[in-house]
Structure 1
Amino acid sequence: MQALAAVARTPQGEFSLETITIDGPKAGEVLVKVEAVGICHTDLAARDGALPVSLPAVFGHEGCGVVEAVGAGVTKVAPGDRVGITFASCGSCPSCLADSPSYCHNFMHLNYDGVRADGTGPLSGGDEAITGFFFGQSSFATYSLALERNVVKVPADLPAEIIAPIGCGIQTGAGAVMRSLACRAGSALLVAGAGSVGLAAVMAAAVRDCATIIVVEPHASRRALALELGATHALDPAAGPVAEQVRAVVPGGVDCAIDTSGIPAVIDSLVKSMTFHGKLGLIGVPANPEAALPLTVIETLVLGITVIGIIEGDSDPDEFIPELIELFRAGRFPIDKLVTTFPFTKINDAVTAQHHGEVLKPVLVHE
């Protein structure tokens, strides 16, 4: 069938709105009519060559829509079901069997290679192959071909623009607090960066009843929003050394810290803000893939710090996405305060607005 898609053809280039051909679902696959899709920095990083995805390609990995058709053997969902679409995993490797699908041994192939096990791809434009199956979905389009494992049935009565961003960024930030670091009630948490991922971590920390929730963020508007969403303190890094500012609030240091920046100097300031047996969670992807941790062996030994790399918030989407939806319904996890909607055809305007810091989480909706 045909679909309208935002095709990436050149690194740093604008997305091109094109009519493409998309396969019907084969065994284990699900065709979804997309209602909304979030824009994540990972989409742009992949377009620009930071991830091993061949161009031209259709990105998008925070989709939400209605199942149009299913392939042979699919039992999890049926046509007419509303689904959120998240990352892909195989379901049979040691990590998947241990309920850790974000560390699937086949993660790179399923999320970046864009082909099935038989080498075929789902998308084309005329005689030209177009890379699809990005994060098992490629949802920057009117239709998305996904896998049974990476669709999650969701309520039909919630706005699609609320459900869509849970699929990656929101569950990553929330999962970092509620899963990866398992922050305790009464503990102190420090979050570097108040983008959508960092603010999802703030909201999750409020849900976990952390006593002190400190955000470090250079933009005043984002610091204000962090305080509205549950942060107890919002620090401007330009006001002085971050560790000194943090220890003015928590003299002994924080129990947990999360970095969403990927900047070694920022990570160093988090380490210097931590207490003994603190846990440091790393989410941000560095601009330089050779970037190293600014953590000495002595610091590690003396403080007993645990460093945890975090992918998708250690989420099992079938369990965690419904949990976050219920928290939203209960008024305890206000995703709507992060989201700004754009018509799908204005994808390049949405990317520009995000780049300039005018919006936190742009979500494209189909009119």
Structure 2
Amino acid sequence: MKQIYYKIVFSAFLAGLSALVSFGLSVQIARVFGADFFADFSYYISIVTILAVFSSVGMNQYLLLKLPIMNEDEIEKLNVEVDSTLVLICLPVLSLLSFFLYFKGESLITIISIVGISFFSSLFLIKQSVYIALKRVFVFQFCDKIVRNILLLVLFFFVSNYIKSFSIFIFFVFIGYLISFLLIQYNLASYSKFRVSKSLLSYSDVKSTYPLYLVLLSVTLMGNLDILIVDFLSTSKEVAVFSASQKVALLAGFLVNAIANILVPYFVKASEEKEGAVLNRQVRFSGLFGFISILIFLIIIFFTGEYILSVFGESYITGYPILLVLVINALLSAMYGQTLTLMKVKKEGLKLSKYIIFALLIKLLLTFNFYKYFGVIGIAYSSTLCIFIWNHLSYRFLKKKYNINTFVFQR
């Protein structure tokens, strides 16, 4: 348990550093390049994130569960098959994205840059699972988020006066992703580097990832659909304000994600060996750790939220109520503990995906009415209901079938 604690602390440190650097980059974009650039950047990154998960078809989750119990030769074979399958799937997806950008009137540089970012984002999902499964997630965190965003921060500091169009701006972002890929590739062992061949995953393997794929896609939609809805219903200024509130609120979730990334291999091992007492102890410890951290964050935001948002610019202070709701949403999810992780570990992905899709449908049905009556904050309210529904259903299922109580407030 002490070893897990140290890993969580170190992972939380890297996640916090990554969050701060990412936050700093968002502030720089909003202040230096203006609300329109920041809104367009947020909109396209949301699209890219959704497409990245869509293109992965759950293979990242498949790797996460399979690699910890494989030897190097088996890892190499599976790695090549996954990489080749990903490239094959990305070809039509990225072609459709190119047509979408073309009909939106984007320049050739913008199209190439966003398509490139989308491909690297899909690949990073796959390689993140490799790093996590091989217990080297710290290296991935450093290469993927910290180095790239620091590089972009420094780059934009020196060349911002020369960037007059969104095309040039997004091209520099693409360069940042390219450098991250090279670093990730360099730090992988030879048997797990990105390589393409004629070998593909078998249909049975791909089919087995569908429940996990639906889970990840649904979660990604819940996290990114709001920006697309705000863009559709409102103005660029509202998109920028909502995005800034999301960037601040995401700082609360990084620690919980860090805990989940560290504990997945331990959860898998305890589950396979049927060590119920060990698993329950790990679940309770991780859930309490995450809940307390987000509760502290909520208190900080309650008193300093307006000041933090003002860092983006004075006009962003109007997002304070949205920010509070988003952080409360994170606290609500943390209150139910590691429901998402345990449902995947217990191979209940299909059940989990049904819960999330049901919650997502409820959210979509209510979002537009919530927006009509409450304004932009209504979109955040719909997420609150969505988070409660799928977490509570998962909690009840785990408790009834496996006698695992993930709820933080338990006897």
Class of the TM-score when normalised by the shorter of the 2 chains: under 0.3
TM-score (norm 1): 0.26
Structure number with higher relative contact order (C-alpha < 8 Å, ≥ 6 residues apart):
2
TM-score (norm 2): 0.24
The structure richer in strand per residue is: 1
The structure richer in helix per residue is: 2
